[in-house]
Amino acid sequence: MCGIVGYAGHRPAIPVVVEELHRLEYRGYDSAGVACVQQGAFRVVRAQGKLSALEQLLSEQAPSTATTGMGHTRWATHGAPAVRNAHPHLSNDASLALVHNGIIENYLEIKKDLAARGYVFHSETDTEVLVNLIQECHRTEPDLRKAFARALSMAHGAYAVCLMSKDEPDAFYAARMSAPLILGVGTGENFVASDIPAFLPYTRKVVFLEDGEMVRVTSSSFAISRVQDLSPVDYRVETIEWDVQAAQKGGYRHFMLKEIFEQPKVLSDGMAGRLLEDAKGVRLPELDGLPVPSRLSIVACGTSAHAGMWGRHIIEALAEIPIQVEIASEYRYKEKLLFQPDEMVLVISQSGETADTLAALRRAKECGAKVLGLCNVVGSSIAREADCVLYTQAGPEISVASTKAMCSQMLVLTLMALYWGERKQIVSEATRAACIETLLSLPQILEKELPSMHAQAKVLARKYAQARNFFYLGRGHCYALALEGALKLKELSYIHAEGYAAGEMKHGPIALIDSAFPTFAICLADELLPKVKSNMVEVQARQGKVIAVTTPGVDLPADDLWIVPDVPSFMSGFIVLPVLQLFSYEMADYLGKDVDQPRNLAKSVTVE
């Protein structure tokens, strides 16, 4: 996710704006830029890479005396990380400058219409389209506030924007829809930013803008109105008690907890622009030019491999594409990689830099396979080297333990299953509608359930904190979730945990069970429930304690029941995943572990 900042005050604006951007760096970015108005014209400075590159460019120029300005750190969604795509973007007539966080879903249609009117574009971004749409609206509406509002009403999707006009050098406009934007109220100076840490050293007084609101800001005033009809908005000035570091975590104790709670938004963002009108189907234009794979090898590491194992079930069920899931470190050294016509490889990687996964991609390409990438980081090595890449749009994942990334990967895998199933014409209208309806309901379900899940995790983590070993059991797609639950527990709390196919217990592992070896069983109300239930009885017969994740009304012989909402079929995985994440989070936090930076681990394993 990008970071945007605006400043109007009594100090030279650019140094303040750059300082604000530094305090948003934790959000991750690949380029940055600033803008102000000097002698009636815009000064825009943009640089790829870290803020230091931008600061170097600024140091080579005469300092600006402007006391109003804005800035941006870009986390690429549309268009590669490059200076031409960095914000701020100027309108064609250089009268307007815009910075933007979010995704304008209908930007291609708007771009086509503007191009027909003679507008030219220098980037691949949706942001440059929006600033020129504002110019076009301003051409017939002299009041910039009205023109801005009209343009925003034509843009569909998520945005937090900051706009400046060379004709109003001491003011900036800002607006938000489904992306955060906060007003900082100072003394003789005012701020706007994507997140509170940006301006916290200057003021603790904030106004949280709501969706559909816009604001015009000067050093001594701000006026909030509704985009829809420009009616004034009542607002409340609140005081922030956090320090900067706490603010960067949005008030959560750790980035991991913040990212677990971001999963409803990750699901919404992941679906943005990928569902046809009236949810009539899935659109994945990245795959349109490719045949439907005759067979698919999914290759990844760690949590991404578990996402692939989970996705296998839904793709085989809906698209009837045979799938094999491979661990990248094994796959890359296989004696032979044999591919039949139209067989493909899908590599999954949040960072897009995992050495084993990148090596597996290169080996598969050398052997003649078409390789698809599923990544979170735009422009990462895997994203660049794959023949075709799909992005999870989950925003930067700061905590070493991967949480929201897996949720976003599972979502895109579900969309791929529906997309390929539709292309093969084997997904019925009813199945497709039911799947999409369930997907669309997930953000709201999770938003509602996460707090109670977190409370239950606190209780059970403390109850089982003495355990030195844990089994995680599941069948079908829940086997992949069991593996993920075990990985989370061991990498965060350093407790030994084994994820197992529940049916495998009697083939040896059950010898380990005793009263000090608890089991976390995933027992959803599906056709495999009776089987998992009998596995639980086997565990309890040997004095093993059982925590069972299940849905309302299921009678289970567990020591602790963890009830979650009943969501159809594979989609229940999106509900079980945060349960497993929160249990591990609370266990690690209770045991005093370094939750965001567990020992021996790196966020991206860029070496073998």
Question: Could you tell me what percentage of the chain is helix, strand and coil, using 3-state DSSP and rounding each to the nearest 5?
Answer: 40, 20, 35
To ligand AGP, the closest distance from the beta carbon of 51 in angstroms equals 24
Catalytic residue among 2, 301, 375, 435: 2
375 versus 575: smaller Cβ distance to ligand AGP: 375
225 versus 597: smaller Cβ distance to ligand AGP: 597
Which residues have a Cβ under 8 Å from the Cβ of 278 and sit 6 or more positions away? Answer: none
Distances (CA, A) of 602 to 354, 404, 478, 606: 11, 17, 27, 9
154 versus 355: smaller Cβ distance to ligand AGP: 355
To ligand AGP, the closest distance from the beta carbon of 549 in angstroms equals 19
H helices within 103-191, ranges in order? 107-116, 126-140, 144-154
92 versus 354: smaller Cβ distance to ligand AGP: 354
How far is the C-alpha of 254 from the C-alpha of 191, rounded, in Å? 26
Based on the number of CB atoms within 10 Å of its own CB, is 315 exposed (0-12), middle (13-18) or buried (19 or more)?
Answer: buried
Annotation marks residue 2 as catalytic: yes
90 versus 483: smaller Cβ distance to ligand AGP: 483
Amino acid at 212: G
CB 343 within 8 A of CB 297: yes
**Could you tell me the two tokens for 70?**
């804005």
48 versus 402: smaller Cβ distance to ligand AGP: 402
CB 495 within 8 A of CB 489: yes
Catalytic residue among 50, 205, 463, 603: 603
To ligand AGP, the closest distance from the beta carbon of 583 in angstroms equals 14
Note the residues at the interface with ligand AGP (CB under 6 A): 301-304, 349-351, 354, 357, 400-402, 491, 601, 604-605
Annotation marks residue 36 as catalytic: no
Give the count of beta carbons closer than 10 Å to the beta carbon of residue 229: 8
To ligand AGP, the closest distance from the beta carbon of 253 in angstroms equals 18
Give the count of beta carbons closer than 10 Å to the beta carbon of residue 208: 15
Angle at 482 between CA 476 and CA 486, to 5 degrees: 160
To ligand AGP, the closest distance from the beta carbon of 585 in angstroms equals 12
To ligand AGP, the closest distance from the beta carbon of 454 in angstroms equals 19
* Burial track 53-92 (b if 16+ CB lie within 10 A, e otherwise): ebbeebeeeeebebbbbbbbbbbbbbbbbbebbbbbbbbb
**Which residue lies nearest ligand AGP, judged by its C-beta?**
302
As annotated, the active-site residues are 2, 603
